[in-house]
Structure 1
Amino acid sequence: MNKKAVSIIVADDHPIMLKGLTEELENAGYTIVATANNGAAAVEMIALHKPKIAMLDIEMPFFNGFEVIKNCSNLELDTKFIVMTYHKEKGFIVQAKKVGTHGYLLKEDNLEEIEACIEAVLFDEFYFSSSFQEDIKHTVDNELRKVALLTPSERTIIRLIAQGKNSAEICETLKVSKRTIEKHRANIIGKLELEPSQDTLTQWANDYKEIIKSL
């Protein structure tokens, strides 16, 4: 791979992280065409430079990394998006795949891992940090498949469950009967392939809050 031909934009609101990663990539031979310290600037730079790779911190001012990717989705770019974060929660990983992220790295990963990710995404492969166990990769695809089966009403209910509301509170919010809510709960549990109990649905909602926010 001709590293010099790989144009990269790096976005991170932490100056030390931004400087360190930029210098590391430049020293490795990649071409850094721009940097950004917030999500809005990242979108502007990506639209302007159309880099082959955009490396994004998830948590940034104005737009987070996922919102940057969403905002760039209608620009008809060939840019591959890699997010870098400290988050290992499954919900973040599912959300990353849902918005069209190509790579998911942890900020603790070394240059060798970063380069492996860059090479993989350039060949249209989705790349997880090797810090994740193999079963996480299967979990991500499974959860995306199952969530897609939920109806609009079921998605509304799972959002309310994620907010900590019980059945009675959901009934009051949606102005429907408890029987209706319990029927929806049962359908959701079935589609998500969970054990048939209220606690398992609540736990699932807590585990996947990030993807629920996007429903």
Structure 2
Amino acid sequence: MNQPAPRVLVVDDQTLVRQGIGTLLELAGVEVISQAADGAEALRACCDHTPDVILLDLRMPVYDGLWFLDKQSQLGIEIPTLVLTTFDDDTAVFEALRAGARGYLLKDVTVDQLSHAIESLASGGNLIGPSINDRLVRAIQAAPPPAGADQTVVEALTDREIEVLRLVARGYSNRQIAGLIHLAEGTVKNHISATLMKLGARDRTNAVLRAIREGMLG
């Protein structure tokens, strides 16, 4: 049976861009349930419509994307958020991911790539654009470990947990991972929960970032 189309909130301060993205997504089979021009409007729309995925621009006047991500975390709103922006500098990427974004794409992606990313997040995955991911990995690997970092964390993960985490890093959802390595979806979820606890990570994206820093993913 086909999965229902993801219900999406589009957040962008430029009216033409926001409406254009909404129209293209609708044509691609994604249901756009609401639109917002800034972070404050986005918070209200989350309460009114409860979307499956939030498509978020970063740079907006007054209440920008980072403000929204911080507020979303403070209020305990756990809706997967995909950043879609023209800003590809390392600082913007790191700030958005640390603030809880589950994906980060540039606005030069195709509609097919964007709809795939939305479906991935709606299914529990995460997705970072290839050009962003390459720079992100290099930046993390080049950075020195934080002072006092626990160097025993890597040994605490089992081979299966590392295998699952590698697939998480590639953007697969729990269901997709279960199919790829022939496990029950609940077992995959348990492996991910154990990995988050061992790495001291609050979500899947932060677990991947920590694992890359520790050199766990090869």
Q: Show the counterpart of 1:31.
A: 31
Alpha-carbon distance in 1 for matches of 2:73, 2:19: 27
| Residues 31-57 of structure 1: per-residue CA shift (max 9 Å, x gap) | 211101122111111122221101111
Alpha-carbon distance in 2 for matches of 1:25, 1:126: 19
Residues 28 and 112 in structure 2, CA contact (< 8 A), matched pair in contact too: no
Q: Give 1:10 deviation, angstroms.
A: 0.4
Q: Show the counterpart of 1:204.
A: none
Residues 86 and 107 in structure 1, CA contact (< 8 A), matched pair in contact too: yes
Q: Does 1:130 align with 2:98?
A: no
Q: Show the counterpart of 1:111.
A: 111
AA partner of residue 53 (structure 1):
V
Superposition RMSD in Å: 2.5
Quickly say closer, same or farther: Cα 1:89–1:50, change in 2 above 3 A.
same
Q: Does 1:87 align with 2:87?
A: yes
AA partner of residue 13 (structure 2):
D
Q: Give 1:75 deviation, angstroms.
A: 3.2
Alpha-carbon distance in 2 for matches of 1:107, 1:34: 19
Q: What are the ranges of 5 or more consecutive residues in structure 2 without an aligned counterpart?
A: 150-218
How many residues align? The count is 148
Quickly say closer, same or farther: Cα 1:47–1:89, change in 2 above 3 A.
same
Residues 102 and 124 in structure 1, CA contact (< 8 A), matched pair in contact too: no
Q: What are the ranges of 5 or more consecutive residues in structure 1 without an aligned counterpart?
A: 151-215
* Rg (Cα) greater in structure: 1
Q: Show the counterpart of 1:196.
A: none
AA partner of residue 65 (structure 2):
G
Quickly say closer, same or farther: Cα 1:131–1:74, change in 2 above 3 A.
same
Residues 103 and 127 in structure 2, CA contact (< 8 A), matched pair in contact too: yes
Q: Show the counterpart of 2:69.
A: 69
Q: Show the counterpart of 1:139.
A: 138
Q: Show the counterpart of 2:3.
A: 2
Residues 93 and 140 in structure 1, CA contact (< 8 A), matched pair in contact too: no
TM-score with structure 1 setting the length: 0.61
Alpha-carbon distance in 2 for matches of 1:66, 1:142: 24
Q: Show the counterpart of 1:210.
A: none
Quickly say closer, same or farther: Cα 1:137–1:146, change in 2 above 3 A.
same
Report percent identity of matched pairs.
24
Residues 1-215 of structure 1 aligned to structure 2 (within 5 Å): 2-4=3-5, 6-132=6-132, 134-139=133-138, 141-142=140-141, 146=145
